[in-house]
């Protein structure tokens, strides 16, 4: 078709630049068809590609207006009229190839009706077609109309019909131009990447068409008309190039978005990270991720559990479902411009499934850890309750019995016949042993669960323990108050274990310091000035393991720092709830 167009133009042109005219006519046919073939390989633009190929095929017939034969010339001029409704359809249906808005359908059908009523009937009535025209450069030497069926041209054609159709053409193309400007203005930033190159060319061509029609009415031989004629003729290949530029801009944008998305979602993102990354990468601030709640008759909900309704058909938003096999797991609400882009759909759904799987696994792991922590806490609480029961039994049972036995032994010694005799001395000796046993029971009871911890709190209980430590011990406290029983119990027994370790293992130590503080977490440190040890060569004992278990039950952790010649520090932290139960000391 390009070769035929070039050959006909070169053979019939009277210009010294006939080769340039031939090249221009060939591009008018070839450019739309080549770009249409390219668009056929892009699923979102297949329909538009077929329209471009059809436009190129119809436009190829307009080259016949370069012919010197009356019949071929007449067919070329009629084909030129038929091109304009197709061009208007192309620009209003861009980029999907479908007319979605009612105003677009009205404009297209109005242009079709105008051509059918004001242009095509004149092919049977006029002696010659108006010149100059975008579809031929014959000027004054143009062939006559081979399709005329009347003897003479009716007067109303030139006096009424031509002015009326030219005015309506100017008005229609002005309306098309306004519609294109409105589409660009209302389009989302995402859609403008595709729309602007082609619609800018289309709006320019529509404006030039109207101006050229008006200028031809005033002075058909003016420079404005000559320039306008060529701009109109070259408008179709320019429209095709504008479409191609929009597609390339889109593909570059999608490639850059996918690269940015891969960089941002490199780790283990949560659903909010996924939503923010998709919104930023694909330039769609309103993008949302919804989740399917329930089975069967379920509904979509956001991360907060609030219902999410599918977007309205004309809202410019689209809901794309994310399925894992046959199971509906999520949906992405995004700009309609992304609806038919396979790269976006595949990438977004793939990342969504991966992220949701990671989030589900993380939630399951967190749930298991929470269950383990709660189980450890229940075990520790049960052990502490048992300690308290044993301490109570010792206090109320064994201690009271030993005290009563001591009193009875003393009374028995006083009632002997010889209070100073050997039998009385034996009884008093037994009383002394009872006193020692009583002291051991009291010490044991205090070690099991000190009454001061329950009555006066952590600091006072530790000060009582420091007084009984084999090493001089000091307790420092800043901002420490009363806490939940499990928190105080864990901190107390960990500090007690650290004090006992210092007394047993800190060779050369002269003092131990216990320091407590509250900065949103309960922190404590037990440090000595002994010789220390090499942590790399020393395995942790059962005492440290017990401390870690006890602190882990309340969400805390412990760290040991020591090196030869610098003593040992045992540091621990227990997180506190926002509203921790506290009792003023």
Q: Is the dihedral of CA 348, 351, 357, 363 positive or negative?
A: negative
Structure tokens at 240: 């095709």
Q: What is the DSSP letter of 299?
A: E
**Are 329 and 191 in the same domain?**
no
**Are 93 and 212 in the same domain?**
yes
Residue 402 lies in a domain: no
User: What pLDDT shows up at residue 584?
Assistant: 36
Alpha-carbon gap, residue 493 to 449, rounded angstroms: 9
User: Is it true that the peptide bond before 132 is cis, omega within 30 degrees of 0?
Assistant: yes
CA distances from 303 to 169, 289, 293, 308 (A): 54, 8, 11, 10
User: What pLDDT shows up at residue 582?
Assistant: 41
- The pLDDT profile of the chain, 585 residues, written as one tens digit per residue, is 888 888 887 777 766 777 887 888 888 888 889 988 988 887 778 888 888 888 888 888 888 887 788 898 888 889 888 888 888 898 888 877 888 889 999 999 999 999 999 889 988 988 888 777 776 666 667 788 888 888 888 888 888 888 888 888 888 888 888 888 888 888 777 778 778 888 888 888 888 878 888 887 788 778 888 788 888 878 788 888 888 888 888 888 888 888 888 888 776 677 778 788 888 888 888 888 887 776 666 777 776 667 888 888 777 788 888 777 777 777 888 888 777 777 777 777 777 777 776 665 555 555 566 666 666 666 666 666 666 666 666 666 666 777 777 777 777 777 776 666 677 777 777 777 777 776 666 555 555 556 677 778 888 888 888 888 888 999 999 888 888 888 888 888 889 888 888 888 888 888 999 999 998 889 999 999 888 887 777 777 777 887 887 788 788 888 898 888 888 999 999 998 764 444 333
**Are 232 and 173 in the same domain?**
yes
Query: How many Cβ atoms from other residues are within 10 Å of residue 389's Cβ?
Result: 12
Alpha-carbon gap, residue 56 to 83, rounded angstroms: 9
- Rounded to 5 degrees, what angle do the CA atoms 310, 311, 316 make? 155
User: Contact, 527 vs 568, CB < 8 A?
Assistant: yes
The alpha carbon of 464 is separated from its chain's Cα centroid by a whole number of angstroms, namely 56
From 217, 251, 285, the end of a domain falls on 251
Residue 123 lies in a domain: yes
Q: Report the DSSP pairing between strands 512-518 and 473-478.
A: parallel
Question: What is the domain extent for residue 560?
Answer: 457-585
Residue 553 lies in a domain: yes
Give the phi and the psi of residue 36 in degrees, each rounded to 5: -65, -40
User: Contact, 133 vs 229, CB < 8 A?
Assistant: yes
Q: What is the DSSP letter of 66?
A: G
Write down the residue that tokens 């297209």 correspond to. Answer: 108
**Are 213 and 273 in the same domain?**
no
Q: Tell me, what CATH number does 528's domain have?
A: 3.30.565.10
Give the phi and the psi of residue 526 in degrees, each rounded to 5: -120, 120
pTM for the full predicted model: 0.56
User: Contact, 333 vs 284, CB < 8 A?
Assistant: no
User: Contact, 91 vs 176, CB < 8 A?
Assistant: yes
From 226, 251, 276, the end of a domain falls on 251
Angle, nearest 10°, between helix axes 70-93 and 162-186?
30
Straight-line distance from the first to the last Cα atom of the chain, in angstroms, rounded to the nearest whole number: 99
**Are 31 and 156 in the same domain?**
yes
Q: What is the DSSP letter of 1?
A: -
CA-atom Rg of the chain in angstroms: 47
**Are 242 and 273 in the same domain?**
no
**Are 108 and 233 in the same domain?**
yes
The alpha carbon of 125 is separated from its chain's Cα centroid by a whole number of angstroms, namely 65
3-state secondary structure string across 366-394: HHHHHHHHHHHHHHHHHHHHHHHHHHHHH
From 341, 369, 397, the end of a domain falls on 369
Residue 259 lies in a domain: no
**Are 238 and 331 in the same domain?**
no
Residue 405 lies in a domain: no
**Are 73 and 156 in the same domain?**
yes
Residue 451 lies in a domain: no
Residue 380 lies in a domain: no
User: Contact, 109 vs 88, CB < 8 A?
Assistant: no
Alpha-carbon gap, residue 580 to 482, rounded angstroms: 9
Structure tokens at 190: 């995402």
Our count of domains for the chain comes to 3
Write down the residue that tokens 């309103």 correspond to. Answer: 286
**Are 242 and 335 in the same domain?**
no
Alpha-carbon gap, residue 463 to 476, rounded angstroms: 9
**Are 64 and 190 in the same domain?**
yes
Give the phi and the psi of residue 389 in degrees, each rounded to 5: -65, -40
Query: How many Cβ atoms from other residues are within 10 Å of residue 315's Cβ?
Result: 10
Alpha-carbon gap, residue 289 to 271, rounded angstroms: 8
User: Contact, 509 vs 532, CB < 8 A?
Assistant: no
Residue 375 lies in a domain: no
Q: Tell me, what CATH number does 83's domain have?
A: 1.20.1070
- The residues pairing with 575 across neighbouring beta strands, listed in sequence order, are 521
**Are 272 and 214 in the same domain?**
no
């Amino acid at each position: 078709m390009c070769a035929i167009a070039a050959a006909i133009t070169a053979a019939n042109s009277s210009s010294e630049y006939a080769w340039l005219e031939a090249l221009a006519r060939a591009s008018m046919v070839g450019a739309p068809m080549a770009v249409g073939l390219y668009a056929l390989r892009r699923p979102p633009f297949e329909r538009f590609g077929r329209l471009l190929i059809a436009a190129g095929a119809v436009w190829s017939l307009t080259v016949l207006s370069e012919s010197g034969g009356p019949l071929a010339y007449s067919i070329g001029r009629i084909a030129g009229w038929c091109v304009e409704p197709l061009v208007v359809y192309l620009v209003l249906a861009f980029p999907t190839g479908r007319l979605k808005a009612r105003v677009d359908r009205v404009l297209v059908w109005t242009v079709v009706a105008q051509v059918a009523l004001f242009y095509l009937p004149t092919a049977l009535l006029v002696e010659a077609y108006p010149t100059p025209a975008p579809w031929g450069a014959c000027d004054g030497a143009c062939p006559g109309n081979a399709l005329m069926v009347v003897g003479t041209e009716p007067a109303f054609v030139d006096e009424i019909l031509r002015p009326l159709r030219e005015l309506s053409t100017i008005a229609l193309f002005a309306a098309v131009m306004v519609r294109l400007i409105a589409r660009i203005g209302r389009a989302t930033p995402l859609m403008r990447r595709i729309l602007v190159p082609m619609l800018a060319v289309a709006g320019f061509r529509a404006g030039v068409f109207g101006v050229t029609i008006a200028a031809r009415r005033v002075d058909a031989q003016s420079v404005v008309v000559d320039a306008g004629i060529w701009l109109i003729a070259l408008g179709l290949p320019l429209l095709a190039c504008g479409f191609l530029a929009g597609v390339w801009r889109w593909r570059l944008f999608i490639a850059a978005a996918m690269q940015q998305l891969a960089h941002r979602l490199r780790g283990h993102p949560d659903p909010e990270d996924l939503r923010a990354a998709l919104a930023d990468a694909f330039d769609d601030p309103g993008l949302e991720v919804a989740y399917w709640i329930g089975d069967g008759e379920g509904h979509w909900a956001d991360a907060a559990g609030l219902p999410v309704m599918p977007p309205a058909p004309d809202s410019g938003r689209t809901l794309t479902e994310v399925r894992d096999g046959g199971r509906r797991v999520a949906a992405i609400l995004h700009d309609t411009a992304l609806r038919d882009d396979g790269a976006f759909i595949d990438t977004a759904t793939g990342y969504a499934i991966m992220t949701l799987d990671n989030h589900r696994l993380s939630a399951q792991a967190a749930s298991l850890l929470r269950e383990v922590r709660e189980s450890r806490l229940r075990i520790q609480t049960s052990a502490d309750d048992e300690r308290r029961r044993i301490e109570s039994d010792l206090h109320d049972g064994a201690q009271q019995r030993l005290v009563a036995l001591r009193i009875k032994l003393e009374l028995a010694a006083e009632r002997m016949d010889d209070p100073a005799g050997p039998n009385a001395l034996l009884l008093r000796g037994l009383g002394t042993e009872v006193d020692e046993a009583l002291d051991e029971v009291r010490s044991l009871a205090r070690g099991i669960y000190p009454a001061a911890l329950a009555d006066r709190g952590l600091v006072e209980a530790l000060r009582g323990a420091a007084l009984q430590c084999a090493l001089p011990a000091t307790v420092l406290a800043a901002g420490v108050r009363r806490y939940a029983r499990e928190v105080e119990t864990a901190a107390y027994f960990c500090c007690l274990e650290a004090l006992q370790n210092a007394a047993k293992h800190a060779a050369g130590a002269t003092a131990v310091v216990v320091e407590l503080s509250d900065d949103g977490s309960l922190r404590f440190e037990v440090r000595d000035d002994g010789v220390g040890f090499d942590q790399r060569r020393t395995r942790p004992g059962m005492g440290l393991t017990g401390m870690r278990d006890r602190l882990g039950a309340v969400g805390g952790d412990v760290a040991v720092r020591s090196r030869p010649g610098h003593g040992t520090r045992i540091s621990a932290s227990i997180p506190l709830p926002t509203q921790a139960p506290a009792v003023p000391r």
